[in-house]
Chains A and B, each alone.
Chain A
Amino acid sequence: MQAPVSEAKILIIDDDFFVRDFFVHTVEFGTNRHVTTFESGFHAWQCIEKAPDNADVVIADANIPDISGMELLERVKKQFPRIVFIIMSSNPAFEKTAFQMGADAFLSKPFDVNDLFAIIHRFILAPPPPSAHETVPF
């Protein structure tokens, strides 16, 4: 029997090594897929802007160096609305802003393995249909 392989390209951005590494191992186990990581929003944005097809799901902490997670969310949703963007934070004040900026999910710290499995199930193994703002013609 073959292991299930998700085709989604996943980016995780957090400058906290311990959280990032745990996130990576959980997602790689859950999806049997390589996960790309970044410590700063700047480097993540460079990667996304240069090759947007290499990002299907972006999971970023709100507080990351150079370009914050919230600013990265704003840029990604403005230029590449098809990309699923999940914001994680230990500050609940970011939740409302993340919602207004079009985040697909808000992950409040501290989180549990089950929360990460819920993300994998919902956004990586069974991606949601295109959202309304992707289909608005101009």
Chain B
Amino acid sequence: MLRLGSPSSETREMDLDDIFHSRLKLMIIMAKAYMNGYPLGEHRRRAMLENARHVESESIDLDSTVGGLQSQPHSCVDYDHVFYQRVKLLAVMVKAVAKGFPMGEHRIAAMHENLDSICQTLMFNSQPEDLAFLKVA
């Protein structure tokens, strides 16, 4: 029997943060698959569309919704705000791909840059405490 998932000592029910992080990771994989020219079928397109909708709706910009964050250093709040806007932009881009909208040279380049920026941010914030800004409602 194959065993996958968390180690026995870390098992727990999945909360909305777990789902959001996993969906964001899935969306990045979906975008990279498209950028690498992987084929898209009917079900793949639908999965991309639905996943992007979830990520877009669940990525809450804490800067504008939680007053407590105003006490943080201003640059940190701006940084989080930009990250969330980039995530939402990627969701819009993935939805456009899934709907079959035309993707020109500049749109592809913009998607590439946005994807790289999000991936770099996630890599730089790989510690759990540094990912706290990814909290969802």
In the complex, the answer to whether B19 meets A109 with C-beta atoms within 8 Å is no
CB atoms of A119 and B51 under 8 A apart: no
Q: Is the CB of B5 within 8 A of A104?
A: no
Interface pair B22/A18, CB less than 8 Å apart: no
Report whether over half of chain A's contact residues are helix, strand or loop; otherwise say mixed: mixed
| Chain A interface residue count, Cβ-Cβ cutoff 8 angstroms | 42
Number of interface residues of B (CB under 8 A): 35
Q: Scan residues 4-29 of chain B and give those whose CB is less than 8 A from a CB of chain A.
A: 4-8, 11-14, 16, 18-19, 22-23, 25-26, 29
Q: List A contacts of B50 (CB < 8 A).
A: 21, 25
Q: How distant is A60 from chain B, measured CB to nearest CB, in Å?
A: 14
| Chain A hits for B2, CB < 8 A | 104-106, 118, 122
Whether A9 sits at the interface, judged by CB under 8 Å, is no
B39 engages A34 (CB within 8 Å): no
B contact residues vs A (CB 8 Å cutoff): 1-8, 11-14, 16, 18-19, 22-23, 25-26, 29-30, 37-44, 46-48, 50-51, 54
The list of the 7 closest CB pairs from A to B, nearest first, reads A3-B41, A108-B5, A32-B41, A29-B47, A3-B39, A111-B5, A92-B8
